[in-house]
Structure 1
Amino acid sequence: MNKDDIRYTTYVQILKEELIPAMGCTEPIALAYAAAKAREVLGKYPQKVLVEASGSIIKNVKSVIVPNTGHLKGIPAAVAAGIVAGDANRKLEVISDVDDSKKSEIASFLKNIEIDVLPLDMGYIFDLIITLFYDCDCVKVRIVNQHTNIVLIEKNNDIILETEIENNSVSGSADRDLLTMEGIWDFINSMDVSDVKDTLDRQIFYNTSISEEGLLGNYGANIGSVLLNTYGNDIKVRAKAKAAAGSDARMNGCELPVIINSGSGNQGITCSIPVIEYAKELKVSKDKLYRALALSNLTSIHQKHGIGTLSAYCGAVSAGAGAGAGIAYLTEGSLESVEHTVVNTLAIVSGIVCDGAKASCAAKITSSVDAAIMGLSMYKDGQAFHGGDGIVMNNIEETIKGISKIGKDGMRETNNEIIKLMVENN
């Protein structure tokens, strides 16, 4: 693929747009970002707050700890953190710099200020509106489709910012529809590493750091440590354990940032850490690691683009298949091995549901990476799932499209039932 190919510049831009830092689970951080922006426009702390959020956001925020809040959970905690301590200029790192006095202030704000939360159904899976009130002043900020995609800022009924809402996308972003597995393969084998080096170096550093912290600390169910303690330190175990450990830490209050993929820190960890661990084990060159990571990240994004930002379909599956693609590149080095690994992975674990962000995400990551390793082992042994085997279609692109329809359309009612169940048992 030549540099003047539209796909080349698009793929580089996709990596730069997607692989960005975030602290904590990205849904509560999106709420904190909107709240910080609303407070910035209001110019003071509000007397009352109204939060409207789509069901999938409510699902993803309910059970996860918001970092830098003293281990608080839930929508009010995320919004209060954004209002009291947020820096909207830092977007998904909006509450990355919070001292102890601010943490106390967040707790006080929650105790003294009314924060109402209402469900929002305006036809978008990812949709939130934060409205702040102070005397006669009212500020409204709305985010749709992606975590930092502000589409409306309004003060006292005067429109400060309003942009068109595009279906499952951000206006001006690189065209994900240009992604294909064959195109991605061509790109990673011909890319000038200097075009993506800084982006991937940051992913390696950030995600490795939180993975190591997850193994050192006591976070959630400590899935990473459980795996190593139970099954040993073989590379197949270590690839799963270190990815799980990153999620252990991230879902349970660790204040280190991660580099996300498809809007998710867990997916960013899942599609990078196993590839990094295999690269270490195989002692491959840094150049080869960069190409493997570009492959893993773009493969994950390609799958997730058709599903959408939030779904009842667990995003760790897409990211696990992406990791499998990267590992197949490192060990087998052929497009055939990559495609069979991805298809095999999707055939094995596509039934995992997303029931929000919480400690068990680490275990789902483990299952997804394990399926990827098994899918690659099948290929090495001359085995594969073929078109007509359930949801496996005649080729990888048709299979990915089919999975997208299942995740986006087929599991919509599943998502609604999961949300109902979680809200009823609050």
Structure 2
Amino acid sequence: MERTNEIYQAYVQILKEELLPAMGCTEPIAIAYAAAKAREALGELPEKVLVQASGSIIKNVKSVIVPNTGHLKGIPAAAAAGIVCGEADRELEVIAGVTEDGICKLRDYLENVEIRMEYLDEGFTFDIIVTVYKKEEYAKVRITNFHTNIVLVEKNGNIIEQHQVESEGEEELTDRSLLSMEKIWEFVRCVEIDDVREVLDRQIQYNTAIAKEGLQGDYGANIGSVILKSEGNGIRSRAKAMAAAGSDARMNGCELPVIINSGSGNQGMTCSLPVLEYAKELDSGEEKMYRALVLSNLTAIYQKVGIGRLSAYCGAVSAGAAAGAGIAYLNGGDYEEIIHTIVNALAIVSGIVCDGAKASCAAKIAFAVDAGIMGYDMYRNGQQFYGGDGIVAKGVDNTIHNVGRLGREGMRATNEEIIKMMIG
């Protein structure tokens, strides 16, 4: 694959579009971003706020701590943080610069301003509308389909910015239909490292820092620390513990940023941190480490194309399978070993549901990473799952297609029931 090839250029761009920095769980941050943009359009501090959100957004905001808010949870906290302290031009780092004084102002704002929430059902899994009011004036911002995709900015009936949204899709991004495991494998072997070094270096730096913080601090259920205490310090335990510890910290108010994958910090950490641990253990060298990260990240992105940004299907599963692929590569695995690792891993843990962002995500991540490693161990020992074994189909791309169908279509009703349980 030549550097000038359309697919080569697309894959580089896809990595740049997906491996973005974010402060905190991305759904509350998307609300904060929309709120900051709405306040910016209004031009002054609003005296009333309406947040309308789809069920999957509500599910992922309900139980997670919003960073830089003094450990507050929920939609009102996220919206108020964006309005009072947000810097809209920083997008998913919109509330990264909040000071102690800002937290005091935020708390005062929450006590004195009505922030109302409504369930929004207009056919989009990912949908947020924030409307802010001051006397007779109002401003409205809508984000649809992915976290930074602003499709409407309106003030007092005047359209400032608008983009047509007819269906759930990401037409604004590089064409994801160009992804396939065969082409990803070809790209991994030929990519010029300098074309991806910057985004990967940032992923290594950010995600390693928050994982270490998760192991050192007291966050949530401390799953990362529990793994090391109960399973020892071997490489398999460390790979699971680092990914889990990053989630421990991120789900429970740590104010360090992460590099996301497919719109999720948990997925970004899951497909990178285990690979980094194995690269150190195996003394793989810098170049092989980078190529393993390219493989893992693109494999995770490819799986999420079919599933969608938000689903009742736990995203840690796809990221854990992707980490298994990266680990197989670091161990000298060829294409056959890598694709069978992915299929095996998906066959093992594809039943895990997503019931929102919260402390237990760290435990799900640990099991997904373990499944990725087991998927590789199985094939290395002459064992595999075959087409016809449940949702496993003949060919890795067909299996990934089945998982996407399961996550997007098959679990739609499951997602609705989970949302009803969570929000009554």
Instruction: Please give the TM-score of this superposition, normalised by the length of structure 2.
Output: 0.99
CA deviation vs aligned residue, 1:265-298 (integer Å, no higher than 9, x gap): 0000000000000000000110000000000000
Which residue of structure 2 aligns with residue 239 of structure 1?
Answer: 239
Instruction: Identify unmatched segments of 5+ residues in structure 1.
Output: none
Q: Identify the residue that residue 11 of structure 2 maps to in structure 1.
A: 11
Computed over aligned residues only, the root mean square deviation of the Cα atoms, in angstroms, reads: 0.7
Match of 1:394 in 2: 394
Equivalent-residue separation in structure 1 for 2:330 and 2:403 (angstroms): 26
Query: Are 1:297 and 2:297 matched, yes or no?
Result: yes
CA deviation profile, 1:47-71 (whole Å, cap 9, x unmatched): 1000000000000000000000000
Equivalent in the alignment of 1:328 = 328
- Report how far residue 166 of structure 1 moved: 5.6
Moved more, 31-40 or 170-179: 170-179
Stretches of structure 2 that go unaligned for 5 or more consecutive residues are: none
1:255 paired with 2:258, answer no
| Percent identical | 64
- Paired position in structure 2 for 1:364: 364
Q: What residue in structure 2 maps to residue 178 of structure 1?
A: 178
Partner letter of residue 361 of structure 1? Answer: C
Residue type of the partner of 1:410? Answer: G
Tell me, what secondary structure is at the counterpart of 2:324?
helix
Aligned partner of 1:341 in structure 2 is 341
**Mapped partners of 1:109, 1:321: distance in 2:** 43
Residues 168 and 309 of structure 1 are in contact (CA less than 8 Å); yes or no, is this contact kept in structure 2?
Answer: no
Question: AA paired with 2:390?
Answer: G
Match in the other structure for 1:194: 194
Partner of 1:140: 140
Matches of 2:391 and 2:146, distance apart in 1:
28
Distance 1:253 1:171 in 2: 33
Which moves more between the two structures, 326-335 or 197-206? Answer: 326-335
Q: CA deviation at 1:4?
A: 2.0
Supply the distance in 1 between the matched residues of 2:30 and 2:184 (Cα, whole angstroms): 30
Equivalent residues, number: 424
**2: CA distance between counterparts of 1:390 and 1:300?**
21
Whether 1:267 aligns to 2:272 is no
Partner of 1:156: 156
Q: Output the amino acid matched with 1:369.
A: V
Distance of 1:216 and 1:88 partners within structure 2: 32
Q: Matched residues in 2 for 1:275 and 1:418: separation?
A: 32
Letter in 2 for 1:11: Y
* Cα-to-partner distance string for 1:148-199 (whole Å, 9 max, x where unaligned): 0000000001000001226443343111110000000000100100000011
- In the TM superposition, residue 143 of structure 1 has moved relative to its aligned partner by 0.1
- Write the distance in 2 (CA, Å) between the matches of 1:373 and 1:72: 36
1:244 and 1:363 in contact (8 A); partners too: yes
> 1:223 and 1:215 mapped to 2: Cα distance?
9
Q: What does the per-residue CA deviation read over 1:358-393, in whole Å, with 9 as the maximum and x for residues that have no partner? A: 000000000000001111000110000000101100
- Distance across 2 between alignment mates of 1:344 and 1:167: 33
TM-score by length of 1: 0.99
Q: CA deviation at 1:342?
A: 0.3
Question: Deviation above 4 Å: which 4+ runs of structure 1?
Answer: none
Distance 2:166 2:336 in 1: 35
Match of 2:227 in 1: 227
**What is the CA–CA distance in structure 2 between the aligned matches of 1:167 and 1:288, rounded to whole Å?**
40
Residue of structure 2 equivalent to 1:105:
105
SS in 2 for 1:383: coil
> 1:204 is matched by which residue type in structure 2?
I
Q: Please name the residue that 2:306 is paired with.
A: 306
Give 1:412's aligned residue.
Answer: 412
Paired with 1:330 and 1:188, the residues of 2 have a C-alpha distance of: 12
Q: Which residue of 1 aligns with 2:205?
A: 205
